[in-house]
Chain A
Amino acid sequence: MNFEEKLARLKVNSFSYLRSDWLSQMIEIFSSAEELLRQDAKTISKEGKIPLESAEAFLKSCAMLDAAKEMEKTEKSGGKILFNGEEDFPQRLTEIKEAPLLIYVRGDLGDVQRAAVGMVGTRKISPYGRRAASKLAGDLAQSGVVLVSGLARGIDSVVHAEAVKNQTPTWALIGTGIGRCYPAENRELARAILDTGGAIISELPFDAPPLAHHFPRRNRLIAGLSDVVVVVEGEVKSGALITAKMALDQGLDVMAVPGPIDSPTSGGPNKLIKEGAGMVLCANDIIDAIPVQKKFGLKVKKLYNESKAPSEPLTEQEQKIFDLIGEDSKSIDDLALETDLQITQLSAILFSLEVSGIIICTDGKYSRNKFN
């Protein structure tokens, strides 16, 4: 692919309202993106079977983008642009429906064919979702799986953070250009992802803002780069479920983490399980679903043999408090009422329980740390 064609493809790619398979088709019809750009709106409308206004908007958007500048900015930020059809373009992404024309990458993709697990979920995370996501992601990262997610708030952030914590690469498919960070509070996390050998990937122009229609599009890339997609938490209508659908369309395994039936954020995964998705009870369930040829090199054994660290036996009072906390979460007030202990005494007991990791405290409420 020559340089001019690359520039032309960058321009063509800038109009994010049209599907990329439509673009590929048009490029095929006119033999190159350069040629496509030379057409007028009428021809494009006729050949591409789209309304005239859309064709006009498409051409206008293409003309607006300064492709050379785009390349320069990407390079300056330490990123690169990979074109579909070139050798360095990830093979996985050529195989999906609606394969992207090109992707912008910051950081290092490494071996793209490695075992990778997409973990997605709601932005409005529940304490349960946080626990589940961090436990599963942590175990997967330790076994050497690349975690793929979307760098959004909630589950996505937990997943990436676990990978960073375990010093393993992780891929973030974002819904903006790679020149931006959305949400802004994840800037530190994004930097850490790059530092630990991960990559931030987007098919959108360098400075593309976070528009609503960008996110479903990037979900297909999450699915595209993964071997298995796991939905941790999400409402019945949510981005996580879109990703799951995309994964199914691409013939991937979709798995889901079951949750309480009355929790709205577990509605999505529960529905998926009902419809036949694999149920995730531990990280091994996910690893089992990874194609056999990719399991080579994963440190799976460790997970199977994982034994609980011997913890000190609880004192009588600690056991009493632990039992009282039960399956629900309790505030220190509830405990004070049920035990007639003073706040001072209760604090000491709760502290030692919390420090030993048996219980956790969220917003002043104590609950059992289910994954310990």
Chain B
Amino acid sequence: MLCSITSACLKGIEGYIVNVEVDIAAGMPSLTLVGLPDQEVKEAKDRVLAAIRNSGFDSPTKKITINLVPAEIKKNGTHFDLPIALGILGASGQLSDAALEKLKDFVFIGALGLTGELHASAGVLPMLIALSRQGKKRAVIAQDNLQEAAYACIDIFSAQNLRQVVDLLEGKIPFEQNREKNPEFLNIEEVYSEDFSEVKGQSLAKRALEIAAAGGHNVLMMGPPGTGKSMLAKRFATILPPLEREEMLEILQIYSVCGLLNRRKNNFQRPFRDPHHTISNIALVGGGQNPRPGEVSLAHNGVLFLDEFAEFSRTSLEVLREPLETFKVTIARAKETLTFPAKFTLIAAMNPCPCGYHGHKVKVCNCTPVQISRYKAKISGPLLDRIDLTVNLMPVNFSDWEKKSEGPTSKEIRQRVIAARQIQKERFKNTQTTANAFMSVKQIKEFCALPKDGAQVLELAMKKLGLSARSLDKILKTARTIADLEGSKDIKKEHLMEVLQYRPLDRKGVSDI
């Protein structure tokens, strides 16, 4: 007898429908699994038969053939256990006709333990989203996946074990019983344990981060150890605007694929990823045998903080160039090409030299000029080109530290950021662009018109300060954000002058070497 069950699988972070066909025929007892199953899928054989037995059903001693359609795409994941088990039960005549009929209304995703218990599996949310797009209405999943699954527009039954699923099909448990309401997205109050006002002084860096949050710009902080670079970066998340529903869904899908979603409570904050500088290239941008999203994708719609920027391996830094430019990572293989979204704000922090004290007011730097220039040269020109704001942080000495003002709280800054984002939202209506930093060249032309005296400022800066012409676009984008923060319709010359504060590396003869 033949039985076909609908399930799904993942390709990158996109889900697609997979039909699990089970055929049972007379012959030598055996179980064959075809349709390019990966090792995890193949192991389903042993799990499923034990689970069937231990749930009080018979495991058939006949020739069982299982096919995963479409058969030409590689499948991985443990979530085929449940559909395979139900297929075997259906094909071996252990389900009633009514149950067999009902099977067709559902999709099944879940891993099985040997006792028949249902376990969570990775990537449930993107699979459900894909299924609902295909018009599927009802899904059965493991209890532990319920939280994330609730974000998909599909009715969900969450079961604890195989027996319960069969009971549902047999009509012994009503479907509605286990349905979870879609949660509310935007009414969640974010709670942070840190606040911007805790960092004393460093008003320039704080202002730069405010601009970065408002316009999605990348920031490089340079300064000796102990100047508060990491402290500031950690607090950057507290001034970011709240997540939009769409953004949230994108983040959840990526985290679902990586199996990183917290079972009990979902994280409603923007992601803040701070990988260590020994990270491998693949861990950073994604890839591997079964391609997985890397840190840049985990930081999607959030912040990627790279502390000790210059200590990252040269190749790791260079692979960052693509996502910084195109906001996605494309992993090309002979058979398939996968794309992971990676639209993040880069916050990088580095020392000015290997020993860290170059330019320090009190401590003496012991590095040779060659060492310093080599250290700075680790950050290549093309990479620097993708960083809009650069700030030099100076150490704060104690007497200053005492009197230095605390500055605005995260809440105050955040309100300004949200207001600026609102202006941008209005500006970029009906386009793909979400913030000033992501403007295309055409949009820069359209939205960043220069006032007359503004052009003069830039000309002066080029002539007198040696500003290079290639950074003009970035200056305009940043000036646009500063204008938005002020609620100004046009870019004014003051805005341009402020941007120049954040472009120290553009100036000629800036360094002491």
Q: Are A355 and B394 in touch, CB under 8 angstroms?
A: no
Q: Mark B143-179, 1 if CB is under 8 A from A, else 0.
A: 0000000000000000000000000000000000000
Q: Are B403 and A337 in touch, CB under 8 angstroms?
A: yes
Residues from chain B with a CB closer than 8 A to the CB of A345 are 494
A347 and B512 contact, Cβ closer than 8 Å, known pairs A336-B203, A354-B464, A361-B507: no
Q: Are B498 and A154 in touch, CB under 8 angstroms?
A: no
Across the interface, A332 reaches (CB within 8 A) one of B400, B457, B461, B501, namely B501
Q: Roughly how many angstroms separate A130 CA and B285 CA in the complex, as a whole number?
A: 42
Q: Are A363 and B201 in touch, CB under 8 angstroms?
A: no
Count of chain A to chain B residue pairs whose CB atoms are closer than 8 Å in the complex = 92
Across the interface, A355 reaches (CB within 8 A) one of B465, B482, B495, namely B465
Residues from chain B with a CB closer than 8 A to the CB of A355 are 460-461, 464-465
A348 and B464 contact, Cβ closer than 8 Å, known pairs A123-B369, A364-B504, A365-B394: no
- Cβ of A56 to closest chain B Cβ, rounded Å: 35
Q: Are A124 and B369 in touch, CB under 8 angstroms?
A: yes
Within 8 A of A (CB), among B458-513: 460-461, 464-465, 482, 486, 493-495, 497-498, 500-501, 504, 507, 509-513
Q: Roughly how many angstroms separate A343 CA and B482 CA in the complex, as a whole number?
A: 11
Across the interface, B394 reaches (CB within 8 A) one of A333, A350, A351, namely A333
Q: Which of the listed residues A124, A183, A331, A354 has the most CB atoms from chain B within 10 Å of its own CB?
A: A331
| Contact-residue size bin, chain B (C-beta under 8 Å from the other chain) | 35 or more
Q: Roughly how many angstroms separate A108 CA and B224 CA in the complex, as a whole number?
A: 46
- Cβ of B405 to closest chain A Cβ, rounded Å: 7
Across the interface, B204 reaches (CB within 8 A) one of A343, A348, A362, A363, namely A343
Q: Mark B380-407, 1 if CB is under 8 A from A, else 0.
A: 0000000000011010000010011100
Q: Mark A283-324, 1 if CB is under 8 A from B, else 0.
A: 000000000000000000000000000000000000000000
Q: Roughly how many angstroms separate A183 CA and B465 CA in the complex, as a whole number?
A: 26
- Cβ of A294 to closest chain B Cβ, rounded Å: 32
Across the interface, A354 reaches (CB within 8 A) one of B359, B465, B513, namely B465
Across the interface, B457 reaches (CB within 8 A) one of A124, A127, A185, A351, namely A351
Across the interface, B513 reaches (CB within 8 A) one of A153, A333, A343, namely A153
Q: Are A351 and B500 in touch, CB under 8 angstroms?
A: yes
B207 at the interface (CB under 8 A from A): yes
Q: Are B460 and A363 in touch, CB under 8 angstroms?
A: no
The interface residues of chain B, by DSSP majority, are classed as helix
B15 at the interface (CB under 8 A from A): no
Across the interface, A130 reaches (CB within 8 A) one of B359, B507, B509, namely B509
B373 at the interface (CB under 8 A from A): yes
A232 at the interface (CB under 8 A from B): no
Residues from chain B with a CB closer than 8 A to the CB of A2 are none
Q: Which of the listed residues B394, B495, B507 has the most CB atoms from chain A within 10 Å of its own CB?
A: B394
A276 at the interface (CB under 8 A from B): no
Residues from chain B with a CB closer than 8 A to the CB of A154 are 369, 513
Q: Are B203 and A333 in touch, CB under 8 angstroms?
A: yes
Q: Are B201 and A337 in touch, CB under 8 angstroms?
A: yes
A363 and B465 contact, Cβ closer than 8 Å, known pairs A153-B369, A331-B394: no
B202 at the interface (CB under 8 A from A): yes
Q: Roughly how many angstroms separate A354 CA and B460 CA in the complex, as a whole number?
A: 10
Q: Roughly how many angstroms separate A154 CA and B511 CA in the complex, as a whole number?
A: 11
Q: Mark A141-171, 1 if CB is under 8 A from B, else 0.
A: 0000000000001100000000000000000
A251 at the interface (CB under 8 A from B): no
Q: Roughly how many angstroms separate A354 CA and B464 CA in the complex, as a whole number?
A: 8
A16 at the interface (CB under 8 A from B): no
Beta-carbon nearest neighbor of B486 in chain A? A344
A347 and B497 contact, Cβ closer than 8 Å, known pairs A125-B513, A153-B513, A362-B510: yes
Residues from chain B with a CB closer than 8 A to the CB of A351 are 457, 461, 497, 500
Q: Roughly how many angstroms separate A343 CA and B494 CA in the complex, as a whole number?
A: 10
B352 at the interface (CB under 8 A from A): yes
A337 and B204 contact, Cβ closer than 8 Å, known pairs A343-B498, A343-B501, A347-B497: no
- Cβ of B84 to closest chain A Cβ, rounded Å: 62
- Cβ of B281 to closest chain A Cβ, rounded Å: 28
- Cβ of B478 to closest chain A Cβ, rounded Å: 12
A357 at the interface (CB under 8 A from B): yes
B368 at the interface (CB under 8 A from A): yes
Beta-carbon nearest neighbor of B464 in chain A? A355
Residues from chain A with a CB closer than 8 A to the CB of B203 are 332-333, 336-337, 343
Q: Mark B249-274, 1 if CB is under 8 A from A, else 0.
A: 00000000000000000000000000
Residues from chain A with a CB closer than 8 A to the CB of B204 are 331-333, 336, 343, 364
A94 at the interface (CB under 8 A from B): no
Q: Are A127 and B512 in touch, CB under 8 angstroms?
A: yes
Q: Roughly how many angstroms separate A123 CA and B493 CA in the complex, as a whole number?
A: 39
A126 at the interface (CB under 8 A from B): yes
Q: Mark B234-248, 1 if CB is under 8 A from A, else 0.
A: 000000000000000
Q: Roughly how many angstroms separate A354 CA and B510 CA in the complex, as a whole number?
A: 13
Residues from chain B with a CB closer than 8 A to the CB of A354 are 464-465
Q: Are A363 and B504 in touch, CB under 8 angstroms?
A: yes
Beta-carbon nearest neighbor of A343 in chain B? B207
Q: Mark A337-372, 1 if CB is under 8 A from B, else 0.
A: 100000111011011001101000111110000000
Across the interface, B359 reaches (CB within 8 A) one of A183, A334, A336, A363, namely A363
Q: Are B352 and A363 in touch, CB under 8 angstroms?
A: yes
Residues from chain B with a CB closer than 8 A to the CB of A365 are 359, 392, 394
12 A-B residue pairs with CB within 8 Å = A153-B513, A331-B392, A332-B203, A332-B204, A337-B404, A343-B203, A343-B207, A344-B482, A344-B498, A351-B457, A363-B511, A364-B359
- Beyond the given pairs A153-B370, A361-B465, 20 more chain A to chain B contacts, judged by CB atoms under 8 angstroms and listed by A's residue number, are A125-B513, A126-B512, A130-B509, A183-B370, A331-B392, A332-B203, A343-B498, A344-B495, A347-B501, A348-B494, A351-B457, A351-B497, A357-B464, A361-B507, A363-B510, A363-B512, A364-B359, A364-B391, A365-B359, A365-B392
The 9 closest A-B pairs by CB, nearest first: A364-B392, A347-B498, A351-B497, A343-B207, A331-B394, A336-B203, A348-B497, A355-B464, A347-B497
